[in-house]
Amino acid sequence: MAPLLELQDVEARYGPVQALHGVSLTVGEGEIVAVLGGNGAGKTTTLRAISGLVTKSGEVRFAGRRITRAAPERVARIGIAHVPEGRGIFQELSVHENLRLGAYLRRDGFDEGYERARAYFPWLDDRRGQQAGTLSGGEQQMLALARALMSRPRLLLLDEPSLGLAPIVVRELFEIVRQLNEKDGLAVLVVEQNAKLALRSSNRAYVLEVGRVALEGPSAELEQNDSVRKAYLGY
């Protein structure tokens, strides 16, 4: 069976700076895939390339459709939800408005998606009127995730979800992602600095180095790999 998401030799550049030098990766249905790598390895650019925020060459396919040249609006429409680095919520708007925006593309209304989001984030109800920018960092990340769920995506792109959050919040967050994956079959592509956490929470992983895939394999195997251990796990 063809994978849900497939990148083939994707190259991307910001002006004169080439950020991706031919990245190929896949995410299967119901899979959690992690992307590891240092600063400037191209992790974030990879996600931005998928959701259409940067132009790229090569080929990106999602659910059998070619989306290499698709604009972000269209990528969102066909079932990819991207939670960008720095949370990507609407700080100035209320919690409720953020969630309504998450459901922007849903013709079938708001309520059903909201019920689902509330099952994972029960505190959303009490905070509906609160300005999103005044939530704590962890709550903002949760809201960003809830907002992404409102569109009922098939694939979730998560960019550095643990950034700046307390360890206990990070654990809670990854637990929710695991449940979404198990119960709802949501496929996840997660970019993460915290390599240990990323490998423990994923089925497979890719290691990016200067815009190329340096290593790939099942997460459990990569965790045992010597160079991964030295470079990213620190033992």
Partner 1 sequence: MAEFFQQVVAGLASGSIYALLALAIVIIYRSTGVVNFAQGEMATFTTFIAWTLVDHGLGYWPAFALTLVIAFVGGIALERTIIRPVEGKPVVTVVILTIGLFIMLGGLTNWIWKAEVRSFPPSRPFPTDAWHIGDVAISKQDVGILLVTIGLVGGLWALFQLTKLGLALRASAVNPTASRLVGIRVGWMLAFGWGLAAAIGAVAGLFTAAASPPLEPNMMRPILIYAFAAAVVGGLESAVGAVIGGLAIGVALNLIATYDEHLHIELDRVRLPIALLLILTVLLVRPAGLFGKAVLRRV
Query: Which residues sit at the interface with partner 1, rule CB under 8 A?
Result: 51-53, 71-73, 76-77, 81-82, 84, 88-93, 97, 100-102, 104-105, 131, 133-137, 140, 147, 151
Look at residues 153, 205, 203, 200 and name the one whose alpha carbon lies nearest to residue 180: 153
Residue 214, phi then psi, degrees to nearest 5? -90, -35
Q: Least Å distance between CB 104 and partner 1?
A: 5
Element (H, E) at 51: none
d(Cα 122, Cα 207) in Å, to the nearest integer? 35
R_g of the chain computed on alpha carbons: 17
Task: Specify the residue, 132 or 198, whose C-beta has the smaller distance to partner 1.
Answer: 132
Q: How many beta carbons lie within 10 A of that of residue 206, not counting itself? A: 25
Q: Least Å distance between CB 76 and partner 1?
A: 4
For the beta sheet containing 212-218, the strands, ordered from the edge strand earlier in sequence to the opposite edge, are 80-83, 155-159, 187-191, 32-36, 204-209, 212-218
Task: Specify the residue, 133 or 185, whose C-beta has the smaller distance to partner 1.
Answer: 133
Q: Least Å distance between CB 57 and partner 1?
A: 21
For the beta sheet containing 65-66, the strands, ordered from the edge strand earlier in sequence to the opposite edge, are 17-27, 5-14, 56-62, 65-66
d(Cα 204, Cα 162) in Å, to the nearest integer? 19
Task: Specify the residue, 65 or 230, whose C-beta has the smaller distance to partner 1.
Answer: 65
Look at residues 20, 6, 85, 3 and name the one whose alpha carbon lies nearest to residue 56: 20
Task: Specify the residue, 36 or 158, whose C-beta has the smaller distance to partner 1.
Answer: 158
Task: Specify the residue, 131 or 203, whose C-beta has the smaller distance to partner 1.
Answer: 131
Task: Specify the residue, 47 or 205, whose C-beta has the smaller distance to partner 1.
Answer: 47
Q: Least Å distance between CB 60 and partner 1?
A: 16
Cα torsion for 106, 107, 111, 113, to the nearest 10°? -30
Q: Least Å distance between CB 39 and partner 1?
A: 19
Q: Least Å distance between CB 42 and partner 1?
A: 19
Residue 222, phi then psi, degrees to nearest 5? -60, -30
Task: Specify the residue, 136 or 179, whose C-beta has the smaller distance to partner 1.
Answer: 136
Q: Least Å distance between CB 102 and partner 1?
A: 6
